[in-house]
Amino acid sequence: MPHPVVGELIDLLQLERLEENLFRGQSRDIGTRFVFGGQVLGQALSAAQRTVAEHGRTVHSLHAYFLRAGDIEAPIVYQVERTRDGKSFGTRRVSAIQHGQQIFVMSASFHVDEPGAEHQLTMPEVPRPHELDPPDPIDPLKFSHISAKLQRWLSQSGPFEFRHVYPRDEIKVPKRPPFQHVWFRLIDRVGDEPTLHRALLAYASDFHLVGTTTFPHGISYLQANVQMASLDHAMWFHRPFRADEWLLYSCDSPSAQGARGLARGMIFTAEGRLVASTAQEGLIRVSG
C-alpha cells in the first residue's frame, strides 16, 4: 500500500463515473483558500483519459482556463465532450462544474504513438537532488504572522517532495531574476499505469510555476497584500516518465504586466530527458 497521502491523491484522481461522459471528483483541503488548481487539472485529465482508453491514444497536450475559484467543500462534476476521434488524433473538451456553474474548461489532444524526427533542449546543469537539502522549516516567529489557512498549507506533508536548487525565503522575500529549478517526486512508489503518472504530473505542474513571475518584484503569495490566481495552464507531454522518480522542473518568466505574469516550464528526468513542457499565466495583484 502506498503512503496514506499518496493513496489519498490517487483516490482523488480516480473519479466516480456517473454516466458515459460524466464524472464526479472530490476535493482535498491542503490549506489553500480555494480548490488547488493542480487538483482540477489532474482530475480533468483523468476524466478525459477515461474516454479514450479504447482508442490506443495518449495525451500529448492540454490547454485549460480557470474560470472561477473552486469550493473545497463541494464535489466537482466533470463533463467530457468527445469532440473528435480520427485515425491518429482525438480531441476532448472537459468542463468542470460546481453549484451549476463552470469553474474550469480544458481541451486535450490525444495521439497514437508513431516514429518521427526527434530533438530536445539540454537539461540545465544543476546539483542532483541528493546533493540538496529539503526545505528548511519556517522560523516560528515568522510563521505566527501568516494566516491560519496558510499555516496549514505550509505545515502539511504533501504527496510530493521538493528540493529547490535556489531556495527562497517566502516571508522575507528577496528580489532576484525570474527563474528557478526544483527537483520533485512522489514520496512513495505507485503502479505502472502511464495515465496515472500523467495525471499526477498535471497535478504537480501547478506547483512553483506561476510563482516564478514574482521573483523580480520581491513579493510572495504569503503576503496579505498579494493576490495570486492561475488564469490558464498549458501542458505538452513529450516522452514517458514516472512521477515517483526525481524530475527537474526548470521554470522561467519572460514577462509580467497588467496584473498578469507569464511563466514557462520544462520537466526533465534525472537522466536529462525532456518529458513535458508547461506554460501558465496568473493574476498578480498587489494592494497598498
At a CB cut-off of 8 Å and minimum separation 6, what does 237 contact?
Answer: 58, 59, 60, 61, 198, 201, 275, 276
Cα dist. 200→39, 99, 116, 145 in Å?
9, 26, 27, 32
Which is nearest to 30 in space by CA: 129, 135, 122, 152?
152
Based on the number of CB atoms within 10 Å of its own CB, is 106 exposed (0-12), middle (13-18) or buried (19 or more)?
A: buried
| Active-site annotation holds for 206 | yes
In residues, how long is the chain? 288
* Residue of 230, 250, 253, 277 with catalytic role: 230
Cα dist. 78→8, 26, 48, 55, 266 in Å?
19, 11, 9, 20, 28
| Active-site annotation holds for 98 | no
Cα dist. 197→177, 204, 217, 252 in Å?
31, 10, 34, 24
List the grid coordinates of 2. Answer: 502506498
CA 136-226-74 angle, to 5 degrees, is 85
Residue type, 99: H
User: How far is it, in rounded angstroms, from Cα 183 to Cα 197?
Assistant: 16
| Active-site annotation holds for 192 | no
* Residue of 27, 109, 206, 253 with catalytic role: 206
Catalytic positions are: 206, 230, 280
